[in-house]
């Protein structure tokens, strides 16, 4: 499928700020499941952006606005083609026990995706969630989908009740949150069971124009899900917010250990403490690819 993505971030300051600095991770990355056809970044007021690839291979753009301004607008636009990309059934049938052994043999590259992080600590998941998700003999694919579904069913999607600083403990206790919380929760559960997984930020298409399926959640802003490392080297995207595997309607932007590694915009400014943030994301399907 082909999409046009537009991701606008707008900061409006109550009093003019004298300087703003920010690091962006809003440039979708190429992968087996998607190809970036074109990409453009517009910053208003107009300033140049520097680019580099980070530790996790994400595109990072940095800009600074060194003069007085009362508004910053960052518009990231891209055209992307996504492809169906699914693990082989044989991989999904691998028993958990066997998968763990395979992980142990390639632990060096997976180590960081098994460690606790500030936003996805393992202790709350270990202590507060009694449910057993993984049995040695169970096929990994089935177990993962069950976990995905359990989060979807147990936790209520409720925007506004949590933010980045909400500890995982509270999310587990109150049983509600947004895609970001569900992704962190799933990461914590997976990692505490020795299954390597990473955080994905991206976009999702809410309505399928060709079908009448119910709306998918998470399209209004950046979306988040997880990728699990399957034996053989396949990173399998799972979206607990929508109870499904990530598919052609998911556009991947950046990956990391948790949200902190992929934050779409991290910045500071000098000025009055009063600011308004507005984020708009649109993902529109364009004419089917001709190629």
Partner 1 sequence: MLQSADQPNHFRDYSASHRDEAFAGNAVAQPYQAIVKALNDCSAHELKVRQQRLDRAAAELGIQFALPGERSREAIDWKLDLFPRVLSAEDWDVISRGVIQRAQAFNAYISDIYHEQKILSERVLPFELPLRDPAFHRSFSGIESHGGRYCLTGAFDLVRMPDGEWQVLENQLATPIGVSYILQNRRLLAQCFPELFATMNVAPVASFSTYLTEALRAQTDVANPNIVLLTRGETNQTHFEEGFLARHMGISLVRPADLLVRDSYVYLKTIRGLERVDVIYRRVESSTVDPIATAGTSFEGVPGLVNVIRKGNVSIVNALGSGVADNRAILRYSDRIIGYYTGRRAILPTAPTYHLSDHDQRDYVLENFDSMVLKPVQDHASLRKRLGFKGLLDSPAELKRLAKQYPEYCVAQPVISPSQLPRFRGGDFSPHTVFMRAFFILGEEPVVLPGGLTRQTSRHHRSGRLSVYAEGMKDTWAPAEAVIDRDIPITKTITGERISIGSRTAESLYWAGRYLNRAENTARQFNTLENLRWDQLGLMDQQAYWPLLQAIAAANSHKYAKRKRMPRDTLKFSTQLVLDPSEAASVNACVLSAQFNLGAVRSAISPECWQTLRELAIYLGNQSRGRVTRSKLRESSDQVVSEVARFQGLAERTMLHDDAWQFYRIGGFLERALGVLYLLEVALPRAAETYRADDEESTDLTALLRLNASLDAYRREYRSRAYLDRVARLLLLSPNNPSSVNYCVRNVRYAIGTLSISGERDVGEGVVAGIDALISYLESLPINHMFPSPVPGLDAGGSSEESPSVKPNVIKKQLNALTKELEKLHENIEDVFFSHQHVYARSPVLFES
CA neighbor of 258 nearest in space, from 200, 196, 217: 200
Q: Report 94-153 residues binding partner 1 (CB under 8 A).
A: 107-108, 111-112, 115, 118, 121
Q: Report 147-206 residues binding partner 1 (CB under 8 A).
A: none
| Strand-pair category, 275-285 with 34-44 | unpaired
| Strand-pair category, 275-285 with 2-17 | antiparallel
| Stretch binding partner 1 (CB under 8 A), from 34-42, 63-71, 205-213, 245-253 | 63-71
Q: Which of 261, 264, 281, 283 binds partner 1 (CB under 8 A)?
A: 261
> Which residue, 23 or 98, is less far from partner 1 as judged by CB?
23
Report whether 190 contacts 226 (CB < 8 A): yes
By CB under 8 A, tell whether 90 contacts partner 1: no
CA neighbor of 227 nearest in space, from 133, 113, 150: 113
Helices 179-192 and 140-154: crossing angle in degrees, nearest 10, is 140
> Which residue, 44 or 135, is less far from partner 1 as judged by CB?
44
Secondary structure tally for the chain: helices H, strands E: 8, 15
The reply to whether omega before 11 is within 30° of 0 (cis) is no
By CB under 8 A, tell whether 68 contacts partner 1: yes
Size of the site for partner 1 (CB under 8 A): 31
* Cβ 121 to partner 1 shortest distance, Å: 8
Half-sphere exposure of residue 216: CA atoms within 13 angstroms, side-chain side: 29
String of contacts with partner 1 for each residue 31-60, x by CB under 8 A: -----------------x-x-xxxxx----
By CB under 8 A, tell whether 266 contacts partner 1: yes
By CB under 8 A, tell whether 72 contacts partner 1: no
* Cβ 112 to partner 1 shortest distance, Å: 6
Distance CA 119, CA 183 (A): 10
By CB under 8 A, tell whether 15 contacts partner 1: no
CA neighbor of 247 nearest in space, from 50, 10, 32, 60: 32
Q: Is 147 helix (H, G, I), strand (E, B) or coil?
A: helix
> Which residue, 18 or 276, is less far from partner 1 as judged by CB?
18
Question: Binding residues for partner 1, per CB under 8 A?
Answer: 18-19, 21-23, 48, 50, 52-56, 62, 64, 66-68, 107-108, 111-112, 115, 118, 121, 260-261, 263, 266-268, 270
């Amino acid at each position: 499928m082909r999409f046009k993505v537009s991701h606008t971030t707008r900061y409006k300051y109550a009093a003019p700020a004298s300087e703003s600095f920010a690091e962006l991770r809003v440039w979708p990355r190429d992968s087996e499941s998607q190809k970036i056809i074109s990409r453009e970044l517009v910053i208003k007021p107009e300033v140049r952006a520097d680019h580099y690839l980070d530790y996790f291979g994400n595109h990072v753009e940095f800009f600074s606005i060194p003069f007085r301004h009362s508004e910053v607008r960052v518009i990231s636009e891209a055209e992307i083609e996504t492809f169906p990309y699914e693990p082989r059934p044989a991989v999904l049938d691998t028993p958990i026990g066997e998968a763990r052994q395979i992980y142990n043999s390639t632990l060096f590259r997976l180590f960081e995706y098994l460690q606790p992080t500030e936003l996805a600590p393992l202790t709350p998941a270990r202590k507060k969630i009694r449910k057993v998700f993984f049995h040695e003999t169970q096929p990994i694919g089935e177990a993962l989908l069950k976990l995905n579904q359990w989060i979807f069913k147990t936790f209520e999607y409720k925007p506004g009740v949590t933010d980045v600083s909400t500890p995982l403990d509270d999310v587990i206790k109150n049983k509600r949150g947004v895609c970001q919380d569900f992704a962190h929760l799933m990461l914590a559960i997976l990692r505490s069971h020795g299954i390597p997984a990473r955080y994905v930020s991206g976009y999702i298409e809410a309505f399928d124009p060709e079908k009448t399926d119910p709306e998918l959640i998470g399209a209004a802003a950046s979306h988040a899900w997880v990728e699990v490392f399957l034996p053989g080297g396949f990173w399998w995207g799972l979206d607990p917010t929508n109870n499904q595997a990530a598919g052609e309607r998911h556009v991947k932007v950046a990956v990391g250990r948790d949200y902190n590694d992929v934050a779409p915009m991290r910045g500071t400014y000098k000025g009055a403490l009063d600011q308004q943030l507005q984020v708009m994301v649109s993902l529109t399907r364009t004419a089917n690819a001709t190629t």
